[in-house]
Structure 1
Amino acid sequence: MDTRTAAQRFADTWQHGWTHHDVDAITTLYSDDAVHTSMPFRPPHQGKQAIADYIHWSFSGESTPHVTFTTPLVDGDQAAIEFRVHTTENDQPVTIAGCVFARFNRDGLAVQTRDYWHTNQGHQ
């Protein structure tokens, strides 16, 4: 699978999966030995199950998220994709804005991803 197709599938699946808290759909995007780092100083999540556990944890407490991912910027086997999420946590509006960087294998699966994001609580 070419990287542009893999990256767009990644963005579309994440957008739908986050909106519906569908962790199973999202984890199909990752190779079994994928590594995900969320924020620069957190330890990486190694392997598909660790990534699934992290996503489950991330979704806990969220309700009715509205999620958008931009068209991926692709170079070689890598892509950068911005995202924005408007949700509610503990009855308070929260906006999450960030970017995911992903590297894909020949099968179109993510083998390495990293996120940078920021939250703005109380504003949408």
Structure 2
Amino acid sequence: MDLTFAQRFTQEWADAWNAHDLERILTHYTDDVVFASPRIIQWGDDPSGEVRGKDALRAYWSAGLRRLPDLRFTVEDVRASVDTVVINYRNERGQAVSEVLTFRDGLICRGLGAYGPEV
């Protein structure tokens, strides 16, 4: 994984989210993806804070897009590691968010959303 890949990937990822194109977003994820976020707990989807599998992720994010019709990500920073990309962005409310995305065979197999204070 290199920074050039991470930057290209992040642009496509943010564009897909900002277009609210769920199927385009999901093309980046493995069928057995695990995604963790405090929003999963807050929205009552699963007390573990995890969603497992692409179908479950589709259902979670579909509901999320309905809850947040103004959702928009503004990327501030991108970092690359061995098999991981970290995307720091601001959401539609100006809240700082980090996504930590681990890749396997070119697709995200594990994701983690981490949120800063509400603004």
Structure 1 runs not aligned, ≥5 long: 87-93
Whether 1:48 and 2:54 are equivalent positions in the alignment is: yes
Match of 1:84 in 2: 90
Give secondary structure in 1 for the equivalent of 2:62: helix
Aligned to 2:45: none
Of Structure 1 and Structure 2, which has the larger fraction of its residues in helix?
A: 2
TM-score between both structures, scaled by the size of structure 1: 0.74
Runs of 4+ in 1 over 4 A off after TM superposition: none
DSSP-derived class of the 2:73 partner: strand
Shift of 1:69: 1.9
CA contact (8 A) 1:36 1:46 kept: yes
Most deviating of 28-37 and 13-22:
13-22
Partners of 2:94 and 2:66 in 1: CA distance: 15
Give the Å deviation of 1:9.
4.2
Which structure 2 residue ranges, 5 or more long, are not aligned? 42-47
Structure 1 residue 3: deviation in Å?
5.0
| Alignment length (residue pairs) | 112
Alpha-carbon distance in 2 for matches of 1:62, 1:119: 18
1:117 aligns with 2:115: yes
User: Partner of 2:14 in structure 1?
Assistant: 15
**Are residues 1:68 and 2:68 paired?**
no
1:5 deviation in Å? Answer: 5.1
Letter paired with 2:108? A
- Contact 1:69-1:84 within 8 A present in 2 as well: yes
Shift of 1:49: 1.1
Identical residues among aligned pairs (%):
26
Query: Who is 1:108 aligned against?
Result: 106
- Distance in structure 2 (CA, Å) of the matches to 1:63 and 1:72: 25
Aligned amino acid, residue 33 of structure 1: D
Would you tell me which structure has more strand in proportion to its own residues? 1
State the alpha-carbon separation in 2 of the partners of residues 96 and 67 from structure 1.
10
- Work out whether residues 11 and 70 of structure 1, in 8 Å CA contact, stay in contact via their aligned partners in 2: no
- Residue 73 of structure 1, CA deviation: 0.9
